Amino acid sequence: MSKSNLKQAVFPVAGLGSRFLPVTKSIPKEMLPIIDKPLIQFAVEEAIEAGIEEIIFVTSHTKKAIEDYFSMNYELEHRLKDAGKSEVVEIIHPKYLDEIKFSFIRQSEPNGLGHAILQAKHIITDDFFGIILADDLILSEPGCLKQLLEIHEKTQSSVLGVFSASENQVSNYGVISSKNIDGVEKVDGIVEKPKPADAPSNLAVFGRYILSKNIFLNIEQTKPGLNNEIQLTDAIQDLILNEDVFALEFEGRRFDCGSKEGYISAIIDRASSIDKFKSIIEK
């Protein structure tokens, strides 16, 4: 595991997953499988690749499956061992389960992304921490958080992952305005889900952030914004007034698995890289 100066990452997973009902009535949307591996595992492994040592899930009472998934299942492991299937044990109990610290905090009520992140305030010890929204699946080498980390190491500042959105996508995201300074985009404004005509650019923030822990002070001051929720975007707009914030257009394939189209595309993409499924895709 690589040593990095970014050790903690917050995973807000308390959302209701209403776009995927009925399955999300009893299964967290983060547990939806991309063939046989849940979305949350891709996100956790991306964080570990960037050197994260503590993952903090901001969760709700309906998300117990996530807690179970990152714990040991004694009965299953013993049965598999007795049956001589140690290679399957390695799949269900990767080494990092013993090396990484998993913390769980309950968000009492869903009240926006900013409010979810604020729940982790008392656990964050370092000056900067990562945020991963697991329904944004990013397949890239190096992983997306690691790409953001490179910019953070250069600038010692907050970094937002962004992508070039089409005109009809901008109203689903936080959208930045920025200036290119020595090859890095320095953010000078950010708005939550603007109408296409009001969007300051086409650079939209997706589910990867490295933020200064001063963001907690900004979130505490943030009044309810869009949809009457405490928006992380509004707190970042305040952070920019006091600190540098940069943006990185990541390199890789991104699937917005919060939408059915994105989810299906992710499954097809993964299947097409596995020999035995290729012929099914090509039919």
The residues binding ligand G1P (CB under 6 A) are: 113, 133, 136, 173-174, 192, 204-207, 231-233
DSSP state of 102: E
In the complex, the smallest distance separating the C-beta of residue 212 from ligand G1P, rounded to whole angstroms, is 17
Q: How many CB atoms lie within 10 A of CB 104?
A: 16
Cα–Cα distance between 115 and 135 in angstroms, integer?
18
Shortest-Cβ-distance residue relative to ligand G1P? 174
Residue count of the chain = 283
Based on CB atoms, which residue is closest to ligand G1P, 16 or 88? 16
In the complex, the smallest distance separating the C-beta of residue 235 from ligand G1P, rounded to whole angstroms, is 11
Q: β-strands 184-192, 174-181: how paired? A: antiparallel
The angle that helices 144-155 and 39-49 make with each other, rounded to 10 degrees, is 30
Cα–Cα distance between 283 and 269 in angstroms, integer?
15
The two tokens of residue 226 are 């869009």
DSSP state of 148: H
Based on CB atoms, which residue is closest to ligand G1P, 115 or 152? 115
Based on CB atoms, which residue is closest to ligand G1P, 108 or 172? 172
In the complex, the smallest distance separating the C-beta of residue 162 from ligand G1P, rounded to whole angstroms, is 9
Based on CB atoms, which residue is closest to ligand G1P, 7 or 250? 250
DSSP state of 20: G
- The secondary structure element, H or E, covering residue 240 is helix 232-242
In the complex, the smallest distance separating the C-beta of residue 233 from ligand G1P, rounded to whole angstroms, is 5
In the complex, the smallest distance separating the C-beta of residue 226 from ligand G1P, rounded to whole angstroms, is 8
In the complex, the smallest distance separating the C-beta of residue 265 from ligand G1P, rounded to whole angstroms, is 16
Residue 52 C-alpha from the chain's centroid: 13
Residues 6+ apart with CB under 8 A from 110: 14, 15, 16, 60, 116
Based on CB atoms, which residue is closest to ligand G1P, 6 or 205? 205
Based on CB atoms, which residue is closest to ligand G1P, 73 or 259? 259
| Alpha helices by DSSP H, 123-221 | 144-155, 215-221
In the complex, the smallest distance separating the C-beta of residue 116 from ligand G1P, rounded to whole angstroms, is 9
Q: β-strands 8-12, 54-59: how paired? A: parallel
Based on CB atoms, which residue is closest to ligand G1P, 9 or 113? 113
